[in-house]
Amino acid sequence: MKAQHPVEWIDSDSALSQACSGWNEGTSLTIDTEYDSFKRSYGFKALLIQVFDGTTVYIIDPLSGISLQPLWNCIEDENIQKILYSGSEDIALLKAMGCSIRNVFDVQIAATLSNYAARNLGGLIEAETGKTLDKSQQQSDWSKRPLTDAQLSYAANDVIFLPQIANTLTQRVAERGLMPILEVENKSLEDIEERSHLPKLKPYHFRLHSDAFCESLLLLLQWRDRTAKAFDVPPVHIVDLEPLEKALQHKSDFLRSGEFHGFHYKVKKDNRLRKEVEEIVQAYDPTNLERKRERKPRPASYTKEEIDQIIQSKCAPFKQIAVDRYGELTAEYLLRGLKKLVTTPNPDLNDLKPYQQELYTCMKEGNKWPWL
C-alpha cells in the first residue's frame, strides 16, 4: 500500500537540520527503525530511521554519514512525545548510538492494557483502521541503496498510522482506569540499557565444564568475534558454537587432523587465523579439572504441595479477579512474574515497579484487588 503522506528521503546534514527545525514543544513524533542485529553483518546497527511528524514521513539514512545530532536533540527533548510500537529494541539501538530517548509512548503497551488480541503492528493497524499493510518487505535488505519504492512505502506505513491508534488506545486505557500503569511503563522505557554484545559463555558451560575449559572456550569466542568484525559478518558465520566446543573436547583429534569443519571458508584458507585457533586449543589442559567458580547456594523453596496450595488459594483467585475486570491479556501483563515471586520464600522484589509491589502484596496476603 502506497504511503498516504509525503515521504522525504534524508541523507544530508542540511535536509535533516531543516526537518528537525520544525519540531518544537508540543510536537508528537512517531519513530521506527530498521536495523541489522548480527544477521547480515557484524554489529547492531541502524539502517534506517523513520520519523513522522503528522504531515510528512522523513526516512533518514544513517549510512550516509550525516550527523544525527539534530535528531538526537529532538528525541531527547522531554517536551516532544515520541510514539513507538514495541520500542525496546529501537530504544536500545538509539542508546547505543548515543541518544537517550525521553517522553515515550509505546503503542503495544497501550494495546495490551486495552486487552487487544492483535500481537503485531500489522494486525493492530488492520483492526483499528481497516487498512491491510503489505508486509512483503519485512525481511528485505535495508542496507542496500537505493531503496525500492516498495521498501519506502513499507517503512513509511510503519509510522503513519500510529498517532491515530495511540489516541484511540489512550482513551480506552483511561476508561479502564489504567492510565497510571501506562505512564509508569512508558517512563520505564527511558531506562532501557544499551545491549551488550561481548562474547560470553552459556550458564551450562560453567555447570558442566572445568574452569580451564571455560577459559579456553571464551578465548575462542573472543577470537571468533574479532575475526567476524574484521570480515564484517555475524560471528556465527565464522563458526558456530558447537565446533568450538568439540575442538576442545577432542583436542588431539582436532590438532592432528588440521581440518576446520564448520569454519568460514576464509578462515580455512588463512594460515594465520588457523594458527591462532590451534594455539588456543593447544594451550588448553584437559587434565586440569579444577573449578574455582563460586557456586551459588540453592535458594530456599516450598515443597510442590505447598506451591500448589499457594497457587490455588491465592494466585489463581487473584488472577481471576483481574481477568474478570480487565480481560486475559491485560491480566497476564499486570501480574507477569508475580506467581513465581509469591511461590518463592523471601523473593527479591527490588526490580518491581510500585504498582507491581502493591499487586504482589495483595496476592500474597490474599487481599482484594487494590484498584477501583
> What pLDDT does residue 89 have?
96
Q: What is the radius of gyration, based on Cα positions, of the chain?
A: 26
DSSP state of 288: -
Strand order in the sheet with 44-52: 7-10, 57-60, 44-52, 28-37, 81-84, 104-106
> What pLDDT does residue 129 have?
87
> What pLDDT does residue 275 have?
98
Confidence class of residue 174 from pLDDT cuts 50, 70 and 90? Answer: very high
Q: CB within 8 A of 34, min separation 6: which ones? A: 46, 47, 48, 50, 142, 155
Instruction: Give me the helix-helix angle, 162-175 and 179-188, nearest 10°.
Output: 130
CB neighbour burial string for 60-69, b if at least 16 within 10 angstroms, e if fewer: bbbeeebebe
> What pLDDT does residue 119 have?
73
> What pLDDT does residue 287 have?
97
- In the predicted model, is pLDDT for residue 79 greater than 90? yes
Number of Cβ within 10 Å of residue 172's Cβ equals 15
Rounded Cα distance between 306 and 136, Å, is 51
> What pLDDT does residue 130 have?
87
Chain segment 246-295, per-residue pLDDT in tens = 999 999 999 999 999 999 999 999 999 999 999 999 999 999 999 987 66
Least reliable range by pLDDT among 17-21, 24-28, 144-148, 340-344: 24-28
Rounded Cα distance between 236 and 243, Å, is 11
For 160, the grid coordinates are: 503513519
For 177, the grid coordinates are: 482506569
> What pLDDT does residue 94 have?
97
Rounded Cα distance between 303 and 352, Å, is 25
- In the predicted model, is pLDDT for residue 134 greater than 90? no
- In the predicted model, is pLDDT for residue 12 greater than 80? yes
> What pLDDT does residue 1 have?
54
Distance of CA 245 to the CA centre of its chain: 28
The mean pLDDT value of the chain amounts to 94
* Domains of the chain, residue spans: 7-191, 203-283, 304-365
> What pLDDT does residue 330 have?
97
Give percent above pLDDT 70 in the chain: 98
Domain 7-191 has CATH 3.40.50.300: no
Average pLDDT, integer, range 137-157 = 92
CA distances from 110 to 83, 189, 249, 362 (A): 11, 13, 50, 24
Confidence class of residue 3 from pLDDT cuts 50, 70 and 90? Answer: low
Number of Cβ within 10 Å of residue 22's Cβ equals 11
Dihedral of alpha carbons 249, 253, 258, 262, sign:
negative
